[in-house]
Structure 1
Amino acid sequence: MTRELDKTFDPAAIEARWYAHWEENGLFRPERPDAQPFTIVNPPPNVTGSLHIGHALDNTLQDIVIRYERLKGKDALWVVGTDHAGIATQMVVERQLELAQDKRTNYSREDFIAKVWEWKEESGGQITRQLRRLGCSMDWSREQFTMDPHFTRAVVKVFVDLYDRGLIYRDKRLVNWDPKLKTAISDLEVETREIKGSFWHFRYPLADDVRLGSGQDYIEVATTRPETMLADMAVAVNPADERYASVVGKFVTLPITGRRIPIVADEHADPELGSGAVKITPGHDFNDFEVGRRAGIAAGDMLNMLDADANLCQTADGLIPERYLGMERFAARAAVVAELKELGCLIPHVVEKDGERVEHDAEPRTIQTPYGDRGGVVIEPWLTDQWYVNAGELAKAPIEAVKSGAVEIVPKTWEKTFFNWMDNIQPWCVSRQLWWGHRIPAWFADDGRIFVAETEEEAQAQAGAGVSLTRDPDVLDTWFSSALWPFATLGWPEQTDLVQRHYPNDLLVSGFDILFFWDARMLMMGQAMTGQNPWPRLYLHGLVRAPDGQKMSKSKGNVVDPLGLIDLYGADALRFFMAAMESQGRDIKMDERRVEGYRNFATKLWNATRFCQANGIGASQSLAAPQATSAVNKWIVGELVETLATLDQAMADLRFDAAANAVYHFTWATFCDWYIELVKGNFDEETKAVAGWVLDQILVMLHPFMPFITEELWHAQGDRPYELILAKWPEPAACVDAEAKAEVDWLIALVGNLRTAKNELGISPGAKLDAFLPDPSPATRGVIERNPAVIERLARLNGIRFEAAPAGAAMQIGAGDANLVVPLEGVIDIAAEKARLAKALELSTKEARSLEGRLNNPSFVEKAKPEAVEKARADHAIHAAEAERLSAALARLG
């Protein structure tokens, strides 16, 4: 028995109620021990996070997949959890302490970590609550956290195993050092900003009375970071640069420090840039580090002139003057420039202004400057001892997996980017100087030996009795632990039922922006620790951008709050927008009007269901299609069969846009607009059964995209033995009836074309017209004779006469192989209508040509703002289409 629906669709009234019902009844993970497993894991959001529009896209796509596979009868598991987010979480808690005029260093490590856990329990669940509002059907009963005890055991085992296999090691190298957070960060966590800066040129005097061939007694070098000259260890010149051939192997004497440093030959120096000579500071520049190593300088011998706060400290050779020690790095920059100028070692930048030479200390430059994406300060390359993973070795198996097709990247265009990064991958620095995170399982003896073990007892056993051990204070990079997500969340290293049943996973859905942060590293760790790829398919979606195509950012003020959109239009509308706009990895432009449009789509379905209820149409009792004898009922069953095939193929291909648009078109146009109109007033028992069955199939097919409204309508249509979330995917057991399809398609073409023609000629939609078809084919004659009521009601025709039309103005309407003639004498003023159409056509054509001329002008396309060019293209398309429509209307009038 149906339950009468409210007149107005109100998303807020049903969303919270249904989500609570699903979760409380364990419907996200029904017991299906004999079913085929299907597994995905969510990219674990930071425990500090809140739902942003990127999360909304990523999780909507995953939920569509998991609900689809669940409806297909699979043992569908969507693993959910959050990442402990080492840097971000420690920053949040430290900020809270600062507000209370307190700080981390007032506490022991253990007491501070206790405060972090306290914050996590009180405030760390915001994003998981927000994921529920989006409708995500995750298995919350097994919610994971990357600092859970079982996860920590997995992390420690992986570190120890990789260390024992020589794939993790400790090394002195340059790292990206964040002076604010006082920790190393990865290349992927560095954002480059364009900063207005300066380029200084200096003289480095040649030592030992050496001269260049030109007689010059110095080498000119240039830098954007003058303070680093205090730790210079060489000057590099290109081995093919004849200007410096005579001085390679000789020395310069550094100003200020007096350090003698060699002139070395290295390809890094470009003869075409500046003077062709480059100052080399191997302890403070990544390129210089490699030059220094090629010149034979060991990492342990490279000079370091900065402390953890990026203040100047003494180098190992003790040559930095005391007046510089403790100076902040940018203050030291100014001081070094001033002293070099005073010593006569600054080469001024000369410009011509009003016919005069004007000297400046430096050349102004826009400089690509590295900033920490968390700390927000300029990053310093800093020489420290850190733990590294041999990423080059671990990358070999994933590279081969993608090359062989064992792992498919969708869309395939991302493979080139994947290979480029993996083929050139650098050692992965995995240690962080934080308190919050997985503590590195390594212990140091006083004599410098290192013992890596899963427990302190094991480390002590390795070291032997009486050896004093100190544990490494560092923690692991957050991405190290999250790289284990596909298997550690299932209980690995224990061979649990979940591991055996759900690993490898079946699919990973991810934003392309974490392809290297996370996806590639999961492939590395999956192969290294389990011998298997973590999943056979990786789907990379694009970004959600602002309406003008710009990247969203708080600083630009163009960030869109998905929760605000849910409040306005409902979760179903936002989800459908995300799916319909997701076209194989292309970025999505945010368009609130489209979201509103999909809310209107939900309202359309709601009202169509109310109409069905009013005509005695309720829930179907059959999985297979009911018996149909009428052409229109055979047709709608066939249309559903075709839509289902399109939808299944789109889901197999991960074409979310094609899947969404297939079910949208069938629901709105085929069912609501045409089928209901065609059967209106003729609801016999067969039609009621077919209509109820088709509506049920719509609810099932639409459920992955719009779970809330479909569940509500599913139950409103009658008593059900199960919730829609656990229904069976459609199995129509029917095929397309070609004759019925041809008949109904003919009727639709007739009605549609006639309505279009009336609109073009300004004829009232309700006006009833005469129509003539003198020589119909037998098939067409049969369609007309079987459907007089439909033709009269929908086409608004006084029947169709099988004879020649009377002489006079008329329009012709096509439908199938027929070309109907509809007289217009007495219906409209033919001459006035021709004049109106001709005038409108002239205006549209003129505007279209004007816009075409502007768009064909390279100056406009290249120099105008992108949004102006985009608007001109859109306007041109509108006017061109209007001109085409008006031409067709004039042609109808002869």
Structure 2
Amino acid sequence: MTLDKNFDPATIEARWYEHWESKGLFRPERDDCEPFTIVNPPPNVTGSLHIGHALDNTLQDIIIRHERLKGKDALWVVGMDHAGIATQMVVERQMNERQEKRTDFTREQFVEKVWAWKEESGGTITGQLRRLGCSMNWSNERFTMDDGMNEAVLKVFVDLYNDGLIYRDKRLVNWDPALKTAISDLEVETVDVKGHFWHFKYPLAADENGNPVTLDDGRDYIEVATTRPETMLADMAVAVHPSDERYKSVVGKEVVLPITGRRVLIVADEHADPELGSGAVKITPGHDFNDFEVGKRAGFAAGEMLNMLDGEANVCQTADGLIPEEYIGLHRFKKDGVDGARERVVQRLKEQGFLIPHVSKNKDGEEVEHDAEPRTIATPFGDRGGVVIEPWLTDQWYVDAETLAEPAIAAVKSGAIEIVPKSWEKTYFNWMENIQPWCVSRQLWWGHRIPAWYGTSKEHMRLAESRVGTISEVEDTIKAQQAFVAMTEEEAISKACKYYGPEFDIFVGEIPISNIGSERQAIALQRDEDVLDTWFSSALWPFATLGWPQDLVEEAVSGEPVEPRISDGKRPSTSSGLTAKPRPGSDLARHYPNDLLISGFDILFFWDARMAMQGIQFMKEVPWKRLYLHGLVRAEDGSKMSKSKGNVVDPLGLIDQYGADALRFFMAAMESQGRDIKMDDKRVEGYRNFATKLWNASRFCEANGIGASKTLAAPEATLPVNRWIISEVVETQQALDKALADLRFDAAANIIYHFTWDRFCDWYLELIKPVLNQGNDSENTFGAEPVEARRKDESGPSTSSGQTESEETKLVAGWVLDQIIVMLHPFMPFITEELWHAMGERDYDLIVARWPEPGAAIDKTAKAEVDWLIKLISEVRSTKVELNIAPGTKMTAHVRDGDDALQAKIARQNAALDRVGRLEAISFDPAPEGASAQIVVDGATYVLPLAGAIDIDAEKARLNKTLEAAQKEARSLSGRLGNPNFVEKAKPEAVEKARADLADKEAEAERLQAAIDRLG
């Protein structure tokens, strides 16, 4: 086909993507080839492509396309996350628009509605990933709620439970009162909010003999300060630092809390900072993460800690029943104009004389009392619920992350997992070595329902029957219930039968009416209402997406294969002397461990570390050999993108404007290890121009009879310019392979960019024009019509191979263009596939072509000669620009310090020097008297007489005037940067710009001075 005059990305992108996908080219059959595997971080089913997705997926696609071109069995696993909270919110919001509520339906009915939404509206992002050009294995697209993943999730939960690595516990969680569920740290956004710091008196209680207790300074109270006064309703202690002399005499004594009258201990704990406020801290272990740890150190069990709020953050009665009735049911904050618990507590403490006012001075210097001290407080908000997160004491399921982390730490230390950049290792170790139990339960209906069924514990039954023990002994839900964790309901019933004994009948849900009056006792098991955190299922992504556990087979420990034993019709069971291993030949056996994971650093702990833990636990191998962590894409000024700031960039808008290839190349070129990317539309536009440059270069080749190459190896070449460009291809391919192997995306993009634009388009195609035009007087330029066909004996000199120089050059040029198209393909897949087919008949598509194998050595002689030619022409052109000489002006040059070898080079390159360098003659005779410009290249001096080319005096005056302006501006910038006030107080970006401007002006002044010196 003939290339259109103008490059239009929109016309080619959809066509080629549909072609690749429909032909199955993202996963060609290569079972006998070396495997290479990456898994895509599964985007939320509710999500849409944002600029972070564009970066993450572009980098992955560059790697997978490169490995595919190298002939590997390249698998890019793709799928979506069911996004428990986000999806449930979307569906509930739609229901609300129809005046429906989730609770109007059964759980099963609601889940059916979610599946219906998923099929109709979910997964918008997958189409957007296609627009970006992501060559994923869509034929095996996974979903974290599909049957295979569901089986994997249940098995992991059950196995971890059986190994003692999953357990129920009462601990504090991040509770979202709007969503009424626990959420992960990643779903918490900290926002600076204007608030207050209140100071209160906590009266010291009399000692055991009724004697009053006072501090050494005579005060009969301890002063405490808080930003959350409402939580005093559940205070359980006051903490002071062990070394604080002010309070040593009262450690172990008690205070009487205002309002509730609860007597609580004064404890010594290093959490209290003697330098902060009064040095005494109120401790509410049921509603503050730090206080929870202080409470444990003070001897409070989690089941004993007081909870004063319900799931909607309304005040409820504590276990000791000491909160006055007037507070019960109040919201924690002011709501709908009605005072909340915070306002009520402050008001009552003020009325009772326990509020210590904050004293400040007004503008007249007079002291003024206020109820509280103004403070800006870092406050946690739920990223979806939009309300303040409440640390809440509740029963949840936890993973023993500390135990699972040990082999994951060892894997990085041993090198089994390589983290790139290496600087992230320290962060990884710090977090993993201080890891906390992982809360994996969520109070939702959409998700993997926890495979646990509960019945009354035998201990609780015994206490109830004998009527012994206090309420506190049996009120703990965890102690009162016996959990039966199993893959299926049938297995749970079987476990319950063994636990309770043969005298009990076991049912799930309600006890049937038919059983009423039976002599046998009945137990009704209740299924856990909670679902699992979505990070739990995505932690299994590297192996569950490849067929685990379905593709496990059991082998004897000796290695002898045995027939799989199926316990429930689906999965192999384990028993003594057997071990489960991937089925030979399966994707699980072939593609685990994965080769590489590319991820944003912000999910290093939430996803990456958890995959490392689960992969090692269940596959006994690391999930991937390398982990590459990229930065964030920020706004142009370096700030974080957010909707509230209005600086969010839509990648689809950039694709519409500049094309997917341009956006992809921008992402690669800007991705420097360890650094964030600053968004810059102008750079994206620049890479669109780069694509246009390649398009026009291809049109030039097409117009001059240069077409697709028929060989993978470099053609034979005799002309220095052809031997030079072949050497450049060899060097480029080697450097590009190394950069990609080192995951230096910026270096890789820079390498192929400069070879394509500078060496091929700007120099090689210009230098070969005289050869292509042998026997033709007309000037040929990009986009010109082809040179008329001539008989071989009229088309110029022949090479040693019997070809004409023109024929050799066309073969080499076609081969080089092919190498560019292939090497550029991972970065710019659409334009390269289009050009691949446009340049000639092909037996296969570019996406499954062969990576360059030039099979040629670097010709140092040819490189040196053409590099000399390029330097000489560049210096001549620069001199013309500096001296204001028209670019097309032909000049002569006189050589000093030249030798015979230089004369031979000039003779060989005479046509290029004349046609491209506009040097119509180069003489070794002395230059005539008069003004001249002198340039030095490789030790030889070239004198360019200027008589008749310019007005020497006028040019000197112009250059001096421009030089003075540049020097003046440089002095001004230097003075500004020398001012400490500017450097210290100005915005960093302003200082950086001033330094860059100074460097530019100083460089400009140097160039101008050099030009003046040339004029003599």
The AA in structure 2 aligned to 1:210 is V
Q: 1:296 aligns with which of 295, 299, 312?
A: 299
Q: 2:21 aligns with which of 18, 23, 45?
A: 23
Partner residue, 1:486: 542
**1:198-249 deviations in Å (ceiling 9; x for gaps):** 0000001111121112221111111000000011111111121222122111
Partner residue, 2:123: 125
Q: 2:1004 aligns with which of 882, 887, 894?
A: 882
Partner residue, 1:324: 327
- Matched-pair contact (CA < 8 Å) for 1:749–1:814: no
Partner residue, 1:72: 70
CA RMSD after TM alignment = 1.1
Partner residue, 2:391: 381
The range that moved more, 260-269 or 428-437, is: 260-269
Partner residue, 1:472: 528
Q: Partners in 2 of 1:632 and 1:799 — Cα distance?
A: 20
Q: 2:165 aligns with which of 157, 164, 167?
A: 167
- Matched-pair contact (CA < 8 Å) for 1:775–1:803: no
Q: Partners in 2 of 1:446 and 1:69 — Cα distance?
A: 57
- Matched-pair contact (CA < 8 Å) for 1:526–1:532: yes
Partner residue, 1:363: 373
The AA in structure 2 aligned to 1:478 is T
Q: 1:814 aligns with which of 918, 930, 936?
A: 936
Q: 1:574 aligns with which of 656, 663, 666?
A: 663
Q: 2:829 aligns with which of 696, 702, 707?
A: 707
The AA in structure 2 aligned to 1:784 is I
**1:270-325 deviations in Å (ceiling 9; x for gaps):** 22211111111111111111111111111101110000000000000111000100
Give the C-alpha shift of residue 871 in structure 1.
Answer: 3.1
**1:144-186 deviations in Å (ceiling 9; x for gaps):** 0000010010001111111111111110001110000000112
Q: 1:250 to 1:774 in 2, by over 3 A?
A: closer
Mapped pair 1:263 → 2:266:
yes
Partner residue, 2:345: 336
Give the C-alpha shift of residue 397 in structure 1.
Answer: 1.0
Q: Partners in 2 of 1:430 and 1:43 — Cα distance?
A: 19
Q: Partners in 2 of 1:376 and 1:571 — Cα distance?
A: 34
Q: Partners in 2 of 1:552 and 1:707 — Cα distance?
A: 28
Partner residue, 1:145: 143
The AA in structure 1 aligned to 2:217 is S
Mapped pair 1:801 → 2:920:
no
Q: What TM-score, normalized by structure 2, do the two folds share?
A: 0.87
Partner residue, 1:239: 242
Partner residue, 2:428: 418
Partner residue, 1:450: 483
Partner residue, 2:290: 287
Partner residue, 2:627: 538
Q: Partners in 1 of 2:15 and 2:884 — Cα distance?
A: 49
The AA in structure 1 aligned to 2:404 is L
The AA in structure 2 aligned to 1:421 is W
Mapped pair 1:43 → 2:41:
yes
Partner residue, 2:465: none
Partner residue, 1:428: 438
Partner residue, 1:214: 217
Give the C-alpha shift of residue 528 in structure 1.
Answer: 1.0
Q: Partners in 1 of 2:854 and 2:589 — Cα distance?
A: 35
Q: Partners in 2 of 1:578 and 1:662 — Cα distance?
A: 15
Mapped pair 1:94 → 2:127:
no
Partner residue, 2:865: 743
Partner residue, 2:494: 461
Q: Partners in 2 of 1:104 and 1:283 — Cα distance?
A: 30
Partner residue, 1:584: 673
Mapped pair 1:252 → 2:260:
no
Secondary structure of 1:264's partner?
strand
Secondary structure of 1:28's partner?
coil
Following TM superposition, the consecutive aligned residue runs of length 4 or more in structure 1 with deviations greater than 3 angstroms are none
The AA in structure 2 aligned to 1:692 is G
The AA in structure 1 aligned to 2:236 is M
Q: Partners in 2 of 1:797 and 1:401 — Cα distance?
A: 64
Q: Partners in 2 of 1:788 and 1:243 — Cα distance?
A: 94
The AA in structure 1 aligned to 2:356 is I
- Matched-pair contact (CA < 8 Å) for 1:774–1:801: no
Q: 1:856 to 1:393 in 2, by over 3 A?
A: farther
Mapped pair 1:527 → 2:616:
yes
Mapped pair 1:619 → 2:708:
yes
Using the aligned pairs only, state the percent identity: 74
Unaligned 5+ segments in structure 1 are none
- Matched-pair contact (CA < 8 Å) for 2:897–2:941: no
Secondary structure of 1:682's partner?
helix
Q: Partners in 2 of 1:169 and 1:521 — Cα distance?
A: 17
Mapped pair 1:396 → 2:518:
no
Give the C-alpha shift of residue 881 in structure 1.
Answer: 2.1
Q: Partners in 2 of 1:471 and 1:207 — Cα distance?
A: 47
Secondary structure of 2:76's partner?
strand
Partner residue, 1:789: 911
Mapped pair 1:350 → 2:472:
no
Give the C-alpha shift of residue 892 in structure 1.
Answer: 1.3
Q: Partners in 2 of 1:410 and 1:887 — Cα distance?
A: 46
Q: Partners in 1 of 2:410 and 2:156 — Cα distance?
A: 22
Unaligned 5+ segments in structure 2 are 207-211, 334-339, 458-480, 498-504, 507-522, 552-581, 773-805
Q: Partners in 2 of 1:523 and 1:852 — Cα distance?
A: 52
The AA in structure 2 aligned to 1:59 is N
The AA in structure 1 aligned to 2:534 is T
Give the C-alpha shift of residue 816 in structure 1.
Answer: 2.1
The AA in structure 2 aligned to 1:844 is A
Specify the structure having the higher radius of gyration (Cα): 2
- Matched-pair contact (CA < 8 Å) for 1:177–1:382: yes
Secondary structure of 2:850's partner?
coil
The AA in structure 2 aligned to 1:342 is E
The range that moved more, 692-701 or 767-776, is: 767-776
Q: 1:409 aligns with which of 400, 419, 426?
A: 419
Give the C-alpha shift of residue 866 in structure 1.
Answer: 3.5
Q: Partners in 2 of 1:891 and 1:47 — Cα distance?
A: 67
Give the C-alpha shift of residue 436 in structure 1.
Answer: 0.4
- Matched-pair contact (CA < 8 Å) for 2:896–2:941: no
Give the C-alpha shift of residue 846 in structure 1.
Answer: 1.3
Secondary structure of 2:624's partner?
coil
- Matched-pair contact (CA < 8 Å) for 2:404–2:613: yes
- Matched-pair contact (CA < 8 Å) for 2:881–2:887: yes
Q: Partners in 2 of 1:779 and 1:210 — Cα distance?
A: 104
Q: Partners in 1 of 2:977 and 2:436 — Cα distance?
A: 46
- Matched-pair contact (CA < 8 Å) for 1:175–1:184: yes
Q: Partners in 1 of 2:891 and 2:400 — Cα distance?
A: 80
Mapped pair 1:732 → 2:854:
yes
Partner residue, 2:463: none
Give the C-alpha shift of residue 864 in structure 1.
Answer: 2.0
Q: Partners in 2 of 1:532 and 1:636 — Cα distance?
A: 46
The AA in structure 2 aligned to 1:381 is P
Q: Partners in 2 of 1:603 and 1:188 — Cα distance?
A: 42
- Matched-pair contact (CA < 8 Å) for 1:747–1:815: no
The AA in structure 1 aligned to 2:56 is D
The AA in structure 2 aligned to 1:516 is F
Give the C-alpha shift of residue 391 in structure 1.
Answer: 0.9
